[in-house]
Amino acid sequence: PNLKMNEHGGSSLTNVHCRAKGGSPGFKVAILGAAGGIGQPLSMLMKINPLVSVLHLYDVVNTPGVTSDISHMDTSAVVRGFLGQNQLEDALTGMDLVIIPAGVPRKPGMTRDDLFNINAGIVKTLCEAIAKQCPKAIVNLISNPVNSTVPIAAEVFKRAGTYDPKRLLGVTMLDVVRANTFVAEVMGLDPRDVDVPVVGGHAGITILPLLSQVKPPSSFTPKEIEYLTDRIQNGGTEVVEAKAGAGSATLSMAYAAVKFADACLRALKGEADIVQCAYVDSQVTELPFFASKVRLGRNGVEEFLPLGPLSDYERASLEKAKKELATSVEKGVSFIRK
Ligand code: NAI
């Protein structure tokens, strides 16, 4: 039979006319880096999300296969694939939410900052296209080092004259997911009942779990605090080492990315009281970018929640985190300005 690519990226018989659907209400979401370790499970999970009506999958390799595969899932989102840079702008046209897991991941022995040289350029290119095609979209940036790639994205948007700090969010949800899991383990609780605020940034000592503010209220011994803080800060490295060269967290990250994207979409839809931690252009500290709890609404970040009372241990850790964060922000900003 005569096969051609249909809009789902799959092949179809050309002599069969498919009737147009009524068009399901919902949001248009693009995933950039959709064929990667995070991108594939993330694309699959977003295809299941009932708030998504159109799902655009973009990558520089392998999107036809991923798109064809995912498009066979019997959920309502319409899936379209886009391959290579000359399809990037089409992938972004009219999107409400853009999720970016594009770029290289860590190998054992690497820090997130070691990824800077490659990923900075990728994020710059992708954000230039976002500024052009969907300047009002909410952007969820996953590519590492997040502490620097979010300032890079902000600079690109400023240059293009489209920067809206409320709409650019660095995804630190995996740190929260890990913190909830590890704290629940120590406390003997169901992780779904645990809420740990994680502030600062998304690398090493900049990841600062506020164990003094855990819900339900819990008290920890100094030994537990040290164990938990260390495990949460190094959760990513734990996975990198276990994967032994095959990459970093992808499945738990896809889960965390979907949890975060779903919160953004529910807020876009007008649901009230959506509060999540994210790394954003911030007024909470003197730093230009900082991760903390923010209230999300129809326009992205609507309110910064205060850091709240910190323990002595957290106050000291915050000072150390701020020093490293300032350097990472500066590195991102100067990448674009120089
Ligand atoms: P991967 O290498 O499996 O996938 C990355 C994908 O990006 C590949 O399919 C690749 O073709 C694509 N890509 C490369 N250049 C591109 C471009 N110019 N435009 C579009 N796509 C492009 O890597 P993985 O494991 O999916 O990780 C992706 C990123 O996410 C890494 O930077 C990693 O460090 C980061 N990450 C962030 C986390 C967070 O908590 N924010 C957690 C885990 C990973």
Q: What is the DSSP string of 125-152?
A: HHHHHHHHH-TTSEEEE-SS-HHHHHHH
The pLDDT assigned to 176 comes to 98
Burial label for 135, CB within 10 Å (0-12, 13-18, 19+), is middle
**Any ligand 1 atom below 6 A from CB of 250:** yes
Residues known to be catalytic: 202
In short, whether 36's Cβ falls inside 6 Å of ligand 1 is: yes
Per-residue confidence at 291, pLDDT binned at 50, 70, 90? Answer: very high
Ligand 1 center–CA 102 separation, angstroms = 4
pLDDT of residue 3: 37
Residue 228 has pLDDT above 70, yes or no: yes
Q: What is the pLDDT of residues 146-169, one digit of tens each?
A: 999 999 999 999 999 999 999 999
Task: Please give the distance, rounded to the nearest whole angstrom, from the Cα atom of residue 101 to the centre of ligand 1.
Answer: 5
| Residue 35, ligand 1, Cβ within 6 A | yes
Residue 106 labelled as part of a binding site: yes
What pLDDT score was predicted for residue 5? 45
% of residues, the chain, pLDDT over 70: 94
Measure the CA–CA gap between 168 and 141, rounded to whole angstroms. Answer: 8
For the beta carbon of residue 106, count every other beta carbon within 10 angstroms. Answer: 22
173 burial type by CB count under 10 A (0-12 exposed, 13-18 middle, 19+ buried): buried
Query: Mean pLDDT across the chain, nearest whole number?
Result: 94
Q: H or E stretch including 228?
A: helix 222-233
The predicted pLDDT at position 2 comes to 38
Could you tell me which residues are beta bridge partners of residue 304?
Answer: 294
Verify whether ligand 1 is closer than 6 Å to residue 173 (CB atom): no
pLDDT in tens, 97-110: 999 999 999 989 99
14 pLDDT above the threshold of 70: no
Check whether 20 has a pLDDT greater than 70.
no
- pTM value is 0.96
Confidence of residue 22 (pLDDT cuts 50, 70, 90): low
pLDDT for residue 111: 92
Write down the residue that tokens 């990667």 correspond to: 36
Calculate how far, in angstroms, residue 47's C-alpha sits from the geometric centre of ligand 1: 19
E strand map for the chain:
3-5, 11-13, 27-32, 52-59, 78-83, 97-100, 138-141, 168-170, 198-200, 207-209, 274-281, 289-297, 300-304
Angle, helices 146-160/312-337, rounded to nearest 10 degrees: 40
Q: 23: closest CA among 67, 66, 64, 54?
A: 54
Whose C-alpha lies nearest to ligand 1, atom 29? 143
Output DSSP code: residue 116.
H
ipTM surpassing 0.90, yes or no? yes
